């Protein structure tokens, strides 16, 4: 008899194959042929022989997490993870993730969902996704886009950009329209690597954002370059922001050339600067032309820096330029470090001090633990 037609022959081969099996996956092809009822009977017999530990292990390995945990518990657990990483696990997880995303965006955008007649279009910045959420579409938002510099270039006056939590590196940012940059999280940081300028008389309003200038690349080592430049007749408003220059590590004496140190904010002739509830950290966090139109600081903290008025200006500006109007109130100047030892200064003006007058308002500022009013010497060149 032909052995290829012998039942015993194939049974022997299969039994040998079972003996040689190393993992359960090696038996899957055979198990698919065996009737399911036979497999169930076999497993039931094995279950009856298991101890409590093995039985518990088999249950949790076999059972879906959707069955083990109630639906509300799963959704709560997923709320601690990014919505984009869990959607592919199962349909239920996808639904929970989308609901968590909806809850998150509802809370995030709660301040911005009401119609503002002064706002034209709203752009979303988000490097983690390529599609808007249904809620964002219903609100008429645009995007999501990944680069703040590109987004600002396509904005029209009246537009705003919503920036979520995270560190956002951006190449050159040029503001040529009146726009808002709004941080919609508790930890929003923008790191401009090639500069940030506000031009052509436009206004940029920035709120709830840290401007970290430590990654800025200056064209020349010793050239004074502002990371954020408010050009002639333009305007910048900062509310609840932070500006950090060189990580606050500069320790040269004020008025001396600052090697490898660029400026944080540089305000030029005719510009407007309104800074409220902000922290300014590092050597030259803010520097002003003596012919800035209007400058206001309120409830700010200056760490390792002062209000610096540059003495580098054209002679013609001294004739035609309007005197700066400066107001600084309710602010703290923490300059007790190596940069400013022995100097009690709020404003350093160098050779431009003739443009600093008693018409400027300095009120209720704290300098090294002292209340600073104009009756005290708190605004002068360190050489006086």
Q: Is the pLDDT of residue 228 over 60?
A: yes
Torsion of CA 334, 335, 336, 340, to 10 degrees: -170
- Count other C-beta atoms under 10 Å from residue 216's C-beta: 22
**Contact, 369 vs 337, CB < 8 A?**
no
pLDDT band with cut points at 50, 70 and 90 for residue 368: low
Q: What is the mean pLDDT of residues 163-183?
A: 89
Evaluate whether 71 touches 92 at the Cβ level (below 8 Å): yes
Q: How many CB atoms lie within 10 A of CB 29?
A: 9
pLDDT single digits (tens) 303-313: 877 788 876 66
pLDDT of residue 109: 78
Confidence of residue 372 (pLDDT cuts 50, 70, 90): very low
The answer to whether residues 262 and 285 touch, using CB atoms and an 8 Å cutoff, is: no
Q: Rounded CA gap, 368 and 347, in Å?
A: 14
Listed in sequence order, the residues at least 6 apart from 62 whose beta carbon sits closer than 8 Å to its beta carbon are: none
Residue 370 has pLDDT above 60, yes or no: no
The answer to whether the peptide bond before residue 164 is cis (omega within 30 degrees of 0) is no
User: Between 224 and 203, where is the model more confident?
Assistant: 203
Q: What is the CA radius of gyration of the chain?
A: 33
Distance from C-alpha of 328 to C-alpha of 170, rounded to nearest angstrom: 31
SS3 309: strand
pTM score, whole prediction: 0.69
- On whether the CB atoms of residues 281 and 248 are closer than 8 A, the answer is yes
Residue 255: its pLDDT value, please? 45
Cα separation, 124 vs 162, whole angstroms = 5
Give 243-294 as a 3 state SS string: EECHHHCCCCCCCCCCCCCCEEEEECCCCEEEEECCEEECCCCEEECCCCCE
| Site of tokens 């001294």 | 318
Domain ranges of the chain: 70-108, 195-372
- Bigger pLDDT: 323 or 185? 185
The pLDDT tens digits for 41-85 are 998 998 899 899 989 888 888 887 777 777 777 666 666 555 555
Tell me what the mean pLDDT of segment 193-215 comes to: 88
Lowest mean pLDDT among 79-83, 129-133, 261-265, 362-366: 79-83
DSSP string for 190-255: EEESS-EEE-TT-EEEEES-EEEGGG---SSTTS--EEEEE-TT-EEEEES-EEESGGG---PPTT
Cβ atoms 364, 371 nearer than 8 A: yes
- Between 178 and 334, where is the model more confident? 178
Q: What is the mean pLDDT of residues 96-102?
A: 73
pLDDT grade for 152, boundaries at 50, 70 and 90: confident
Q: Per-residue pLDDT for 382 more than 50?
A: no
- 297 pLDDT exceeds 70? yes
Find the DSSP H helices in the chain. Answer: 7-20, 28-31, 36-47, 52-62, 65-68, 71-78, 83-86, 91-108, 134-138, 148-153, 315-320
Task: Output b/e per residue, 31-64; b: 16+ Cβ within 10 A.
Answer: eeeeeeeeeeeeeeeeeeeeeeeeeeeeeeeeee
């Amino acid at each position: 008899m032909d052995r290829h037609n012998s039942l015993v022959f194939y049974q022997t081969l299969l039994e040998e194959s079972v003996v040689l099996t190393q993992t359960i996956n090696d038996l899957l092809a055979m198990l698919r042929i065996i009737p399911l009822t036979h497999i169930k009977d076999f497993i039931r017999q094995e279950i009856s022989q298991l101890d409590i530990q093995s039985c518990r292990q088999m249950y949790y390995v076999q059972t879906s997490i959707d069955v083990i945990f109630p639906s509300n518990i799963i959704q709560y657990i997923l709320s601690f993870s990014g919505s984009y990483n869990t959607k592919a696990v199962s349909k239920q997880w996808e639904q929970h993730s989308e609901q968590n995303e909806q809850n998150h965006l509802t809370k995030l955008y709660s301040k911005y969902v009401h119609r503002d007649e002064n706002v034209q279009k709203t752009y979303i910045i988000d490097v983690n996704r390529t599609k808007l959420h249904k809620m964002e579409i219903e609100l008429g938002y645009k995007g999501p886009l990944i680069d703040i510099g590109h987004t600002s270039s396509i904005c029209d006056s009246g537009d705003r950009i919503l920036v979520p939590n995270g560190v956002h590196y951006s190449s050159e940012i040029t503001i040529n329209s009146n726009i808002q940059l709004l941080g919609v999280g508790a930890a929003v940081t923008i790191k401009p690597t090639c500069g940030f300028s506000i031009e052509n008389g436009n206004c940029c309003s920035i709120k709830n954002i840290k401007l970290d200038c430590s990654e800025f690349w200056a064209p020349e080592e010793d050239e004074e370059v502002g990371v954020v430049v408010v050009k002639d007749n333009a305007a910048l408003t900062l509310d609840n922001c932070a500006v950090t220059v060189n990580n606050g590590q500069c320790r040269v004496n004020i008025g001396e050339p600052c090697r490898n140190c660029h400026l944080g904010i540089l305000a030029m002739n005719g510009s407007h600067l309104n800074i409220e509830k902000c922290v300014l950290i590092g050597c030259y966090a803010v520097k002003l032309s003596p012919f800035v139109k209007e400058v206001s600081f309120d409830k700010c903290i200056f760490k390792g820096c002062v209000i610096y008025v540059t003495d580098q200006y054209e002679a013609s500006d001294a004739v035609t330029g309007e005197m700066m109007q400066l107001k600084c109130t309710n602010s703290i100047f923490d300059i007790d470090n190596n940069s400013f030892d022995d100097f009690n200064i709020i404003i350093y003006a160098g050779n431009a001090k003739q443009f600093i007058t008693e018409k400027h308002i300095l009120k209720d500022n704290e300098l090294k633990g002292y209340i600073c009013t104009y009756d005290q010497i708190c605004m002068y060149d360190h050489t006086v």
